[in-house]
Chains A and B, each alone.
Chain A
Amino acid sequence: MDKAIVEVKGIGKTYDGGVEALREVSLAFPPGQLSTLLGPSGCGKTTLLKIIAGLIPHDAGEVWVKGQRVHGPGPERAFVFQDFALLPWASVLRNVAFGLELRGVPREEREELARKYIAEVGLKGFEERHPNELSGGMKQRVGLARALTVDADIILMDEPFSSVDEQTRRKFQEDLLTLLRHRQKTVIFVTHSIEEAAYLSDQIVLLTPRPGTVLRIVRPAVDRGRSADQIRRDRNYLDTVDEIWGILKQYV
């Protein structure tokens, strides 16, 4: 296995008011792979993701990204938010280009890039629309395009499909796999859906609730070269779902 691109060592986090969200969490995320943080609600998976993103301070431990210890957000990490976090007053185009706008990239250049990614996530023609004119699934595509546009190596996704209806979610998952397959992106993905984790992930990290600790790491042996429908009927895929359910059952 390659050297990890993101590593957390002994992460601990206690919120004001004494709720211990994470304890002694150490994990390594290999480059170019999709890793999932999975666990029941309250297991601190979103907290861990935001600590990796540098959005929340941690009380103990270290976060290493590309061989460097980090203490805040950085251009090599891009975040996709559960509630989309789109600027309601800005067009899709400006939203997608917003990461580059903050970096001071000239307007023409950033909008050209943004248009390219808007097309890639399947929103061509919606560039001048505003977020309130889009469905939940489309909003999240905007969020994904924004993360792709800044060309970060690491994409952090916080339950990106949880506010999206079931059919849209399936299509979106498939598109996500296609989009990521040739890009060598490292994705860290938070979800509470076992099926989603088993379908998407190279590595699944199971977390225990309160305080969050690493329970088990599962690496589904699912061949991702095949079509979505074949994966969903794959023996290994189904076994992985069963195995994870078997482990997590006791915590629900």
Chain B
Amino acid sequence: MKLFGKNVPGFLSLAVWFIVWELAGRAQWSSIVPPFTSVIEAAVTILPTEKFRAAVIISLRSFGIGMALAIAVGIPLGIVMARVRGVGRILGMWVNIFVSAPISALVPLLMAVVGIGETTVVVTVFLFAVFVIVLDTQVGVSHADRSLVEMARSFGARPSQLYGKVLLLSALPEILAGLRLGAIRGVKGVVIGQLLVAIIGVGELFELYSNHFLMEEFWALVIIVFLFAFAVSEAIALLERRVEYYASNR
């Protein structure tokens, strides 16, 4: 980042934000904005509690299961949609509708179908993540270099080899981008699902803090969830950068 012709590290902008936040909190403009330092203090006190630990475990479990399902369904579905023209045309419309649809609105409906509990959250994570994974996989596979496919066929590749050794690897950059976006949406899915169900995990904590007007704890939790989503997305982005030269070479 450049400022007044000097190189400034990117995290400085965050620091500026924190200072503004701190000042706003100190000035006591609004009771929902406590000073940043009190939020950090609250985070430190929340982290070791049993309640927080239980919330994290149940949230991570819902996230993990939901994401695993989304990947297990999303990647194969995306491949089929890219390779079988009819399927792509029929399902493409639906995937495009659902990728932009307000899935949150469906959660109350889900509660009626699968009950109030962890399953609802898992399904919410799945629905939040799966469509973008399908779309990106489809794009990656259908944009795979046609001559690589011809090459593999001309050297006698069986269909399993064509997929395993050429198409999947060729679509890897797009698939990883889909996974990254899917994971970020998945984190939102956990929180929204739990908030709407309102009796488990991180969502329960959010509900608890806001009902009792514990703004320090509330913001601390927001930051923790944000950091988690950021870490997951950065981990996938790291993988993406490692395969970047694929893309530059197509």
- Please report the C-alpha to C-alpha distance between residue A79 and residue B151 in the assembled complex, in whole angstroms: 7
Interface code B146-163, partner A: CB below 8 Å = 1, 0 otherwise? 011011111111100100
- Is the beta-carbon distance between B154 and A102 smaller than 8 angstroms? no
Interface code A90-102, partner B: CB below 8 Å = 1, 0 otherwise? 0000000011011
Chain A, Cβ-Cβ closest to B155:
A99
Chain A, Cβ-Cβ closest to B248:
A132
- Is the beta-carbon distance between B154 and A73 smaller than 8 angstroms? yes
**Is B246 an interface residue, CB under 8 A from the partner?**
yes
- Is the beta-carbon distance between A102 and B157 smaller than 8 angstroms? yes
**Total chain B interface residues with beta-carbon distance under 8 A:** 23
Chain B residues closer than 8 Å to A50, beta-carbon distance: 150
Chain A contact surface mostly: loop
From A85, A101, A131, name the one whose CB has the most chain B CB atoms within 10 angstroms.
A85
Chain B contact surface mostly: helix
Q: Which of B150, B152, B161, B249 contacts A88 (CB 8 A)?
A: B249
Q: Which of B145, B154, B250 contacts A55 (CB 8 A)?
A: B154
Q: Which of A54, A75, A87 contacts B148 (CB 8 A)?
A: A87
Chain A, Cβ-Cβ closest to B166:
A87
Chain A residues closer than 8 Å to B147, beta-carbon distance: 81-83, 85
Chain A residues closer than 8 Å to B243, beta-carbon distance: 89
**Is A71 an interface residue, CB under 8 A from the partner?**
no
Chain A residues closer than 8 Å to B157, beta-carbon distance: 102
Chain B residues closer than 8 Å to A131, beta-carbon distance: 249
**Is B169 an interface residue, CB under 8 A from the partner?**
yes
**Is A249 an interface residue, CB under 8 A from the partner?**
no
- Is the beta-carbon distance between B145 and A85 smaller than 8 angstroms? yes
Interface code B123-165, partner A: CB below 8 Å = 1, 0 otherwise? 0000000000000000000000101101111111110010001
- Is the beta-carbon distance between A77 and B169 smaller than 8 angstroms? no
A-B contact pairs, 20 of them (CB 8 A): A54-B154, A55-B153, A73-B153, A75-B156, A78-B154, A79-B151, A79-B154, A81-B150, A81-B151, A85-B148, A85-B151, A87-B166, A88-B245, A88-B250, A101-B165, A102-B152, A102-B161, A131-B249, A132-B248, A150-B155
Name B residues whose Cβ lies closer than 8 Å to a Cβ of A: 145, 147-148, 150-158, 161, 165-166, 169, 172, 243, 245-246, 248-250
A-B pairs with lowest CB-CB distance, top 3: A88-B249, A85-B151, A99-B155
List 10 other contacts, CB 8 Å, given A73-B155, A74-B156, A146-B155. A55-B153, A87-B166, A89-B172, A98-B155, A99-B155, A102-B152, A102-B155, A102-B156, A102-B158, A130-B249
Name A residues whose Cβ lies closer than 8 Å to a Cβ of B: 50, 53-55, 73-75, 77-79, 81-83, 85, 87-89, 98-99, 101-103, 130-132, 146, 150
